[in-house]
Amino acid sequence: MKVSSSFRRITTISKKELVEFARDWRTIFALLIIPLLMFPLLFIIFPLLLASEAAELDAIKVRVVVQSNDFPVGLAEELNGSSIDIIYEPLTLENNLSFPSGEEERLRNASIDAVLRMKENGSVWDYALLYMSTSERSQEARTRTLTVLFEWEENETERRLVDAGLEPDETLHPLNWDGPISNSDVATSGEQAGMVLSLFIPLVLSVWTFSSAIQPSIDMTAGERERGTLEALLGLPCSRNELLFGKWLAVATITGIGVLLQLIGLLFAIGYLATSDFLTIPTLSMVSIVFIGIAVLLFAIMVVAFELALAMRAHSVKEAGSILGPALLLILFPALFTQVINLDGIETFWFSIPVVNVLLALRELLMDRFVIEHIITWILSSGIYAIAAALYAARQFKREDIVTSLS
């Protein structure tokens, strides 16, 4: 009976906080709608824009200055057929063809896109290609010119081998792969997709879980203190632990909905990419999905309790924001660090480090890997950290000066 009445008070406090939070449509849009649209916009619209930009770049004709005194006739014909406007000039340099020698100004003001210099040196051709890496047109001119040069080099090499009485394929390619190269990888497409997704899903989940809990944590602690409503809440017939759990439940609900919507948007984007053969759907067992849920839950418990405690220690909403904003680095740095850790033969102690343990666990689970020692370690350590964060938050809520300010 006592437990049920306590739970009722906790849920009542949580509902009150959620109703107040839902009144601000701008906050709802920032924390709930944006996560839903983030990945579809990133994975669907952005590639379409890139493809459109690439098609537009392919349609333009680039201007290339060819400086040579004895330019190969066959190469000139191939360049003319590659959407390249050729401007022929005499070559004045004897050596060190890659030295700009006054061509910087023409490349910078985009009067030309690239400069190709060539001279015959016995049986070989010396060349250099000047361009400007900060110009898309210049880079495109360089790419097209090099493509033609390499094709001409391959044809010229085969011609010389034939003239010498040699078979080009046998001479140039004495080592031959037998069969389709794709068959040599025993990993399935689902496993490959899991590896790709394991490199950024833990990062996105951890950062968004922390960042989406910042605003409601501040509003339900320092915000209520500034508005003068916290004192009224403390006068209610409930303990401070019940008040803390009610606020924690409200923040966790908001954060959980935001993360869930983000995952829905991500799954939609992955499904779209799977139809275009860009990325397949990862192969995950039900056990992996369950453990992923446990990992996210333990991480959310720790993060929300930690943010509530820090926000409660702040003197004002402004100060709380200045504390929790930089605190995001405590999540971001470990998240970036775990992306470069090799999971093959990784030591177990890594799965006991705060934040790192959950992120590494998510990486392994997304790749459908199960190492019992790792699972036990990160579950136990994450549980300990979550309890420690909850106790720290409870301590802050029991302070006598909670209504006024903290020194």
The CATH code of the domain that includes 110 is 3.40.190
Q: State the pLDDT at residue 263.
A: 76
**140 in a domain, yes or no?**
yes
For residue 180, pLDDT beyond 90: no
Confidence of residue 407 (pLDDT cuts 50, 70, 90): very low
| Percentage of the chain lying above the pLDDT 70 cut | 92
**Are residues 152 and 300 part of one domain?**
no
Nearest to 13 by CA among 329, 305, 243: 243
- Quick check: 1 pLDDT over 60? no
- List, for residues 392-401, the tens digit of each pLDDT value: 888 877 776 6
363 & 280 share domain: yes
Domain that holds residue 105: 58-167
Best CA proximity match to 43, nearest among 203, 265, 226, 210: 265
Q: Which of 25-29, 119-123, 159-163, 300-304 bottoms out in mean pLDDT, i.e. has the lowest?
A: 25-29
C-alpha closest to that of 259 among 200, 303, 212, 310: 212
Task: Judge contact between 80 and 86, C-beta under 8 A.
Answer: yes
The 3-state DSSP class for residue 32 equals helix
Rounded to an integer, the average pLDDT of 47-62 is 76
Mean pLDDT estimate for the chain: 82
Cβ(232)–Cβ(402) under 8 Å? no
The Cα angle at residue 136 between residues 132 and 137, in degrees rounded to 5? 80
What DSSP state is assigned to residue 30?
Answer: I
Q: Which of these three, 167, 201, 230, is where a domain ends? A: 167
For residues 137 and 259, membership in a common domain is answered with no
Could you identify the residue written with the tokens 């660090």? 337
Within a domain: 173: no
Contact between 113 and 138 (Cβ < 8 Å): yes
In percent, how much of the chain has pLDDT > 90?
A: 8
Kindly state whether residues 200 and 149 are assigned to the same domain.
Answer: no
State the average pLDDT over residues 38-59: 74
pLDDT at position 370, please? 84
Can you give the pLDDT at residue 296? 84
- The model's confidence at residue 173, banded by pLDDT at 50, 70 and 90, is confident
Same structural domain for residues 66 and 45? Answer: no
Predicted pLDDT at 314: 78
Tell me the per-residue pLDDT of 57-107, one tens digit each, with 9 for 90 and over: 777 888 899 998 888 877 877 777 777 888 888 988 888 888 888 888 899
258 and 359, same domain (yes or no): yes
Residue 175 has pLDDT above 80, yes or no: yes
- Our separate counts of H helices and E strands in the chain read 18, 4
Neighbouring C-beta atoms of residue 4, cutoff 10 Å: 8
Q: What is the pLDDT of residues 229-275, one digit of tens each?
A: 766 666 667 777 888 888 888 888 888 887 777 777 777 777 776 66
Q: Which of 100, 135, 167 is the last residue of a domain?
A: 167
The answer to whether 242 and 159 are in contact (CB under 8 A) is no
Angle, alpha carbons 400-404-407 (nearest 5°): 75
Q: Are 1 and 228 in contact (CB under 8 A)?
A: no
Q: What is the number of alpha carbons within 13 Å of residue 290 lying toward its C-beta?
A: 5
Q: Are residues 162 and 228 in the same domain?
A: no
Whether 42 and 139 map to the same domain: the answer is: no
The band of 402, judged by pLDDT with boundaries at 50, 70 and 90, is: low
Overall number of domains in the chain: 2
pLDDT given for residue 406 in this prediction: 42
Same structural domain, 293 and 246: yes
**How confident is the model at residue 231, as a pLDDT?**
67
Sheet strand arrangement including 62-67: 84-89, 62-67, 114-121, 124-130
CA-to-CA distance for 352 and 377, rounded, in angstroms? 6
Domain match, 389 and 307 both: yes
Of 195, 184, 187, 197, the C-alpha closest to 343 is 195
Q: Is 293 contained in some domain?
A: yes
Distance set, CA 8 to CA 2, 11, 18, 244, 358 (Å): 10, 5, 15, 14, 32
Residue with the two structure tokens 């995001």: 328
List pLDDT tens digits, range 274-329. Answer: 666 555 666 777 888 888 888 888 888 888 888 888 888 877 788 888 888 888 88
Token pair of 365, please? 């689970």
Query: Per the domain annotation, does 405 fall within a domain?
Result: no
Long-range contacts of 140-143 (CB under 8 A, 24+ apart): 140/57, 140/60, 140/62, 140/113, 141/62, 141/63, 141/64, 141/84, 141/113, 141/114, 142/114
d(CA 361, CA 379): 9
Tell me phi and psi for residue 126, to 5 degrees: -90, 140
Cβ partners under 8 Å of residue 235, min gap 6: none
12 with 76, same domain: the answer is: no
